[in-house]
Structure 1
Amino acid sequence: MHNLRWLGLTLLLLHATAEAHLFKVFAYAEGNTIHGSVYFAGGNAVENAEITVKGKASDKPVSLTSNRKGEFQYSATTPDDYLIQANTGDGHQAEWLIKAEAFSPTATTANPTTPASSDSHSKRFEKSDQQLASLVEQAVAKQIGPLRESLQRNHDRARFSDILGGIGFIFGIAGIALWWRSKQANR
């Protein structure tokens, strides 16, 4: 019985330790800029994490470092699938993939400072529509990106129901072990 208590306590502590060291990276595209952050489950930011950004079409990965808030930025030259890998240097690693579709299609092609050509009234409106669409997409990405990050961080946290489930699992294992031990003692 004494050994069983130690086993239960050890399992409980191991579970808490594993949750505390769950390393995460999150990133999103806003226009042609990738914004991201690195953190441990529970929300603690990771300063000076090594960030590697590699585009599918690019041969050379780019190295970045997270700031004291665990944030980083990268200006993408072209819309591409980008794999973001984060490493704390002490064995914690995480990665995140941003698909090319996440980038604004007009972010690298539309230039709001370029005047519209005067040879056609419809071309002028078409260019204005592209510029407006680009501005709207960038504004929406600016608002939605941080919301998605907040949801992701909240999802990564251990919930009270998760903790109760873990404790119930431990008691279930202990009950099975005690039942088995009483069966063996009766024989």
Structure 2
Amino acid sequence: MSLLTVAPARAHKVIASAYASGQNLEGEVGFSNGDMAKDTLVEVFDPAGRKLGETRTDGDGFFTFTPTEAVDHHFVADLGAGHVARFTVVAADLPKGLTGGGGGAMSAPATASGEPSDIPVASGGGVVPAEIAALVSEAVKQEVRPLRREITAYKEKHDIQSILGGLGYILGLVGVVFYLMARRRLSTAP
């Protein structure tokens, strides 16, 4: 009787990723159910296990790290309760112009102020073209972040196991229908 009163457990996976954005690596850490890792320490190591630096996630689970070496960057974030996010950004995906030596750098979570005083103006009164590209890039980045999270959550919810499970249910229902049809046919036979 006590087994019937136990509530079902809701499993969730850790999701984490990072990508190059300008001279930084930006990423996010959270769970497949949509809960993001808030104010979580993210440590960065090289392939030999030497610590390159660390950063913290913001309130939305996002972080920014400035790489200083052209090596694979292994990210590790302990989310508690046995959940540890581990992911790698390979050296080929890092921003260009990094060297092989030097120490790691820390960076706080990125924020965009977007105040009018931050927009550079050319001497003729127009906005500098290179700065327009930077402003557009920042705006697009802010809009794409939620889409990345939704895509990752979608991938986690609709993996191959759930697809095969759905097909199994369909085949099971077809089997029950055939069984009932065969039983009805046998009962009406002379």
TM-score, scaled relative to structure 2: 0.52
Q: Deviations over 1:157-180 (max 9, x none)?
A: 41499657547758999x9xxxxx
8 Å CA contact 1:29, 1:141 repeated in 2: no
Residue 28 (1) aligns with residue 23 (2) = no
Q: Counterpart of 2:155?
A: 156
**Aligned residues of 2:15 and 2:85 also touching (Cα < 8 A):** yes
Distance in 1, matches of 2:83 and 2:156, equals: 17
Structure with the bigger RCO (C-alpha within 8 Å, sep 6+) is 1
Once structures 1 and 2 are overlaid, which stretch shifts more, 139-148 or 47-56?
139-148
> Per the alignment, do residues 160 and 27 of structure 1 end up closer, same or farther by CA in structure 2, a change over 3 Å counting?
closer
Structure 2 segments unaligned to the other structure (5+ residues): 100-129, 176-190
Contact 1:49 1:89 in 2 (8 A): no
Contiguous gaps of at least 5 residues in structure 1: 109-131, 176-187
Matched, 1:69 2:60: yes
- Decide whether aligned partners of structure 1 residues 152 and 98 sit closer, same or farther in structure 2, where only a CA change above 3 A counts: farther
Q: Is the 8 A contact 1:48 1:88 kept in 2?
A: no
Aligned residues: 138
Deviation at 1:97, TM superposition (A): 0.7
CA distance in 2 between partners of 1:37 and 1:26 (Å): 6
Query: Residues 141 and 84 of structure 1: is their aligned pair in 2 closer, same or farther, counting only changes over 3 Å?
Result: farther
Residue number among 93, 97, 102 corresponding to 1:102 in the alignment = 93
Structure 2 Cα separation of the partners of residues 41 and 28 of structure 1: 19
- Cα gap change, 1:161 to 1:99, in 2 (>3 Å): closer
The amino acid of 1:158's aligned partner reads K
Return closer, same or farther for 1:102/1:152 CA change in 2, 3 Å cut-off: farther
The CA RMSD measured in Å over matched residues stands at: 4.5
Distance 2:163 2:67 in 1: 44
Letter of the structure 1 residue corresponding to residue 96 of structure 2: P
- Distance in 1, matches of 2:90 and 2:137, equals 17
Q: Contact (CA 8 Å) 2:20, 2:94: kept in 1 or not?
A: yes
Equivalent residues in 2 for 1:39-78, closer than 5 Å = 39-56=30-47, 59-78=50-69
Distance 1:42 1:30 in 2: 26
Mapped to 1, the partners of 2:147 and 2:86 lie a distance apart of 16
Aligned partner (choices 1, 8, 33) of residue 13 of structure 1: 8
TM-superposition CA deviations, 1:33-86 (whole Å, max 9, x none)? 110111110322111222111123672342322111111111111222000111
